[in-house]
Amino acid sequence: MKHNLKLAALSLAVMASTNAFAQESSEPDYKHWIGLSGMYYNADESRPLSLTENGAYDEGQGLSVEYGFRFTQSWAARIEITDLELDNAAGNTAGDADGEMVGVDAMYFMPDDAWFLFAGVKRQSVGVSTTQGNIGIGKHWDIHESVKLITEVAAYHDFGEDYNDYSLKLGIAVPFGKSTPKAPVDSDNDGVVDGKDQCPMTPAGVRVDATGCSVDNDNDGVMNSVDQCPNTPAGTQVDAMGCAIKDADNDGVVDSKDMCPDTEAGVKVDAKGCTVFDQETVEITLRVLFDNESAVVKMPKDPEISEFAEFMKQYPSTTAVIEGHTSAPGTESYNMDLSERRAANFKEVMVDMYGIDATRLDTVGYGETQLLDTASNAEAHRVNRRISVTVKDTVKVPEEK
């Protein structure tokens, strides 16, 4: 009898595990269930009828009620109460015993609810009260949307007396508390849900096929099926075959049509690839002060003087008139001569130190005739002792993109 029971238990376990792979994938659609099952129970042959009676139990049957709750898709717990009757192994009905078995189980459901494993603790009060640990395997078979068939096989072990019992269970479960279906997830937002996406990390904006993989690996606008240059660098202009169109100066006009192949970067070009120019007025004014009765340029490397010289070099078609001035004290003839020397000395600095062509610079002295400040004090005299020069021109400048 015990041998037959073990074969039956093994068969049920194998049947549950092999049928798991025949089930279609589905998300769990319930969080609670109540079950009612019949149980076949086989007791250890050495388990005594009671502390005072001789003999042992053989097998029995029971009626089980359970309530289960699923915490997550995989994990659940249940409470189970079983009305259990065990038979006297000697066949004497007077030795049969009724009682109950109460316990809790932790349950782990395999993916798609293919089958589940469970383990827990049971308190059995039949003849001799005992506390047992139990493990088992089972499955909830879909019969109807609101009804499931329960099949389980379990093993029990009494750690105190070292008894080993077995049971088979067949019953009906009623699930309730349906969970809200989750919308399909599309992690890379390419329009293909994760369950079908064979390329789950596609960069944003890349076109994909039905499997979620790029149809244009180098993202040049040419489909992989016709792209003869599948690894074109990003941003490269390509032809209908996906190969780069040469544009040496990167101005947007291909070399075969570019009449100005060395266009400066960042400027606007016309259809022939040549720079588009605009008219612009450029101007710079410089004022340099002098000590009293001095024509010496004290700081010829002053940043403002250097900037003026660079401006002259940047616009080589420009010319300038250097104007010399003095303050009011002194005779008119002395001041006129001093102003001319100041202008001449500044021109010499421009030519000798900065390399400006002398023909681009003229000088003139105004003496005390063009005072900036007519007051008769030290500050007025200081600002009037000066040279001033203004350069202004209208030039063509490239338009920026």
Say how many domains are in the chain. Answer: 2
Q: Which residues pair with 149 in a beta bridge?
A: 141, 172
At 187 the three-state DSSP class reads coil
Helix 303-314 with 332-354: angle, nearest 10 deg? 70
Residues 34 and 150 placed together within one structural domain of the fold: yes
The CATH number given to whatever domain includes residue 382 is 3.30.1330.60
CA distances (Å), origin 176, targets 24, 36, 71, 117: 21, 15, 14, 21
Q: What percent of the chain has pLDDT over 70?
A: 87
Of the pLDDT bands very low, low, confident and very high (cuts 50, 70, 90), residue 94 is low
Write down which residue in 160, 176, 192 finishes a domain: 176
CB atoms within 10 A of CB 96: 17
* Position 188, amino acid: D
What integer pLDDT is reported at residue 20 of this predicted model? 40
Note whether residue 82 is domain-resident: yes
pLDDT at 383 over 90: yes
Q: Which long-range contacts (CB under 8 A, 24 or more apart) does 223-231 make?
A: none
Question: Where do we find the tokens 């000088």?
Answer: 363
Note whether residue 392 is domain-resident: yes
What integer pLDDT is reported at residue 89 of this predicted model? 67
For 316, the domain range is 279-398
- The whole-model pTM stands at 0.41
Write down which residue in 118, 153, 176 finishes a domain: 176
Write down which residue in 176, 200, 217 finishes a domain: 176
At 310, phi and psi to the nearest 5? -65, -40
State the burial class of residue 333 (Cβ atoms within 10 Å of its Cβ: 0-12, 13-18, 19+). Answer: exposed
Per-residue pLDDT of 51-73, as tens digits, reads 445 556 778 899 999 999 999 88
What integer pLDDT is reported at residue 309 of this predicted model? 92
Average pLDDT over residues 87-111: 81
User: How many angstroms separate the CA atoms of 325 and 343, rounded?
Assistant: 8
Residues 32 and 154 placed together within one structural domain of the fold: yes
Note whether residue 238 is domain-resident: no
What integer pLDDT is reported at residue 126 of this predicted model? 81
What integer pLDDT is reported at residue 92 of this predicted model? 62
User: How many angstroms separate the CA atoms of 328 and 150, rounded?
Assistant: 118
CB atoms within 10 A of CB 124: 23
Average pLDDT over residues 318-327: 92
- What is the edge-to-edge ordering of all strands in the sheet holding 361-365? 277-289, 386-398, 320-325, 361-365
Q: What percent of the chain has pLDDT over 90?
A: 44
What integer pLDDT is reported at residue 331 of this predicted model? 93
Q: What's the chain's average pLDDT? A: 83
Residues 287 and 148 placed together within one structural domain of the fold: no
What integer pLDDT is reported at residue 195 of this predicted model? 81
Q: 9 or 191: whose pLDDT is higher?
A: 191
Note whether residue 252 is domain-resident: no
Q: 95 or 14: whose pLDDT is higher?
A: 95
Flag the least confident range among 110-119, 231-240, 331-340.
231-240
Contact 290, 296 (CB under 8 A): yes
Note whether residue 205 is domain-resident: no
Note whether residue 288 is domain-resident: yes
Torsion from C-alpha of 304, 309, 315, 319, nearest 10 degrees: 100
Residues 148 and 294 placed together within one structural domain of the fold: no
pLDDT at 18 over 50: no
pLDDT at 3 over 50: no
Average pLDDT over residues 8-35: 54
Rounded to 5°, the CA angle 297-298-300 comes to 70
Note whether residue 326 is domain-resident: yes
Average pLDDT over residues 93-114: 86
User: How many angstroms separate the CA atoms of 65 and 137, rounded?
Assistant: 18
Of the pLDDT bands very low, low, confident and very high (cuts 50, 70, 90), residue 138 is very high
Flag the least confident range among 104-108, 263-267, 311-315.
263-267
User: How many angstroms separate the CA atoms of 176 and 31, rounded?
Assistant: 7
What integer pLDDT is reported at residue 343 of this predicted model? 92
pLDDT at 225 over 80: no
Residues 306 and 168 placed together within one structural domain of the fold: no
Note whether residue 235 is domain-resident: no
Greatest alpha-carbon span in the chain: 153
Of the pLDDT bands very low, low, confident and very high (cuts 50, 70, 90), residue 24 is very low
Among 215, 222, 254, 219, residue whose Cα is nearest residue 233:
219
Q: 230 or 313: whose pLDDT is higher?
A: 313
At 319 the three-state DSSP class reads coil
What integer pLDDT is reported at residue 289 of this predicted model? 93
Average pLDDT over residues 207-229: 79
Find the length of the chain: 401
Average pLDDT over residues 232-243: 78
The CATH number given to whatever domain includes residue 96 is 2.40.160.20
Average pLDDT over residues 250-271: 76
Flag the least confident range among 249-258, 306-315, 350-359.
249-258
What integer pLDDT is reported at residue 2 of this predicted model? 42
Average pLDDT over residues 286-311: 92
What integer pLDDT is reported at residue 116 of this predicted model? 95
